[in-house]
Amino acid sequence: MDRELSRREARRITPSEAAYRVKSGDWIDYGAALAQPDLFDRALAARKDELTDIKIRSCLSTVPRAVLEVDPERKHFHWYSWHFSGYDRKHHDAGRCHYIPCNLGEIPDYYRRFIEPPDVVVLKVCEVDANGFFNLSLANLWHKAVVARAKIVIVEVSQGLPYVCGPENGIHISDVDYVIDGGSAAPPQIANPPPSDTDRAVARLIAAEIDNGACLQIGIGAMPNAVCSLLLESGVRELGLHTEMLTDGIIDLYKAGLITGTHKTTDPKKIVCSFGFGSDVLYRAVHNNPDFVCAPVDYTNVPNRIMQNKGVVAINNTTQLDLQGQASSESAGHRHISGTGGQLQFVRGAYASEDGKAFICLSSTYERHGVRQSRIVLELTPGNIVTTPRSDVMYVVTEFGMVNLKGKSVPERAIALIGLAHPDFREGLEREAYTHGLIPRGARGAL
């Protein structure tokens, strides 16, 4: 079939017919988050015994993927991910999923410059609108860059997805080869666990640093969302929002009238994100709502755009921090657990913003096999990935306090971070810091 005719007509076909466009050895893109296809995935899994060496790029899988469930020995399908969800992590632990290191905001450029054109891309989208665009819903990310390079473009149209505004949040029908009817199932929801006392303690310290008119980036996790809860009670007003991920906590601030965006330089009065996960409350709030803009991730995440807004506040989690300030936020030793995401880019963008602040937050301890351990350590666990280098880390916050590491020497950093550790671990950390020369003998008084 002539390719130009195919794209102009965007033929409607069944999931099985779409899956038959795949041949052994192909690279397939499933997109990310809410854009991952369901019916096509099941149809492709049904062809397992006919195919070999199918390589699939993905990101943040929200529900089980049929191609993984039917092929536990990886004889037919190979799964690659830009950022792990809990489901992806489980398959990585079993040797069936491979992480692709990245800064999330650079991924569109990877497809344009470094990645060979995918053989097939399949994305879940909204029904075509009056202007001929399939809306990307709440998952813009790098999807348009993939579509521009892919040899075959298939969309799985879902009546259940929210329609989300944005001048670049759609794929034109002329760029699509095939259309699948994806039904009307509601998008998957992510439960928000209630914040712990530790989350609230950390959030209280961060919320006190946020001024009227600040422009927020809220990362994933209980602590950043706890900040949203504290801000509801803090009296702060006229906030802006320019973030990678939209969460329920942000919607709570929006509904309370605290996010106006009136002080933003980029996209004033708009809530800007690149994708979103949450409850039905979030999906209903963004549907056909012009206050929200879903944009490509190389628009939301690049530091030189983030910094254009005054008073940017970036709030992100980490899982381990060494006494020099290196933040490891994505692995536990050689076991990969999530991804770099946009953390480093937002830390840099917030720092470069006029009056900007970047917060890395963590609980002081965690429990493993019934034993409490410190998240603040002399040195990172062997194999741990440094997500944010010591030269970039600004504010560090635990339930025991906050410190700004900018301008501090290694001994000053070590002493400050020991003060943020749980009291049960401080003496041991100080002893290790002296033994390994991070704090010179007799230096504490001089510091």
Classified as helix, coil or strand, 352 is helix
Which residues, including other chains, have CB under 8 Å from residue 384's CB and lie 6 or more apart? 320, 328, 331, 332, 333
Distance CA(316)–CA(447), nearest Å, equals 29
- H/E stretch holding 377: strand 376-377
> Which single residue is written with the structure tokens 């450029």?
109
CA distance 297 to 139: 10
What lies within 8 Å, CB to CB, of 287 at 6+ separation is: 162, 163, 164
The C-alpha atoms of residue 404 and residue 418 are separated, in whole angstroms, by: 13
Structure letter (DSSP) for residue 208: T
Of the residues 156, 244, 399, 430, only one is catalytic, namely 244
| Whole-angstrom distance, CA of residue 146 vs CA of residue 150 | 6
240 exposure class (CB count in 10 Å sphere: 0-12, 13-18, 19+) = buried
Measured between alpha carbons, how far is 168 from 260 in angstroms, rounded to an integer? 22
Write the single-letter amino acid at 189: Q
DSSP one-letter code for 272: E
Give the number of C-alpha atoms closer than 13 A to the C-alpha of residue 353, restricted to the C-beta side.
Answer: 31
| Residue 246 β-bridge partners | 276
| Helix boundaries (H) for 114-256 | 143-149, 197-207, 222-234, 248-255
Question: Residue 335 pairs with which residues in a beta bridge?
Answer: 332
Is 244 noted as a catalytic residue in this protein?
A: yes
Question: 305: buried, middle or exposed (CB in 10 Å: 19+, 13-18, 0-12)?
Answer: buried
CA angle 324-327-330, nearest 5°? 155
Distance CA 321, CA 311 (A): 25
The structure tokens 């989208």 sit at 125
Q: CB 96: neighbour CB atoms within 10 A?
A: 17
Looking at residue 409, the DSSP 8-state letter turns out to be -
Active site residues: 244
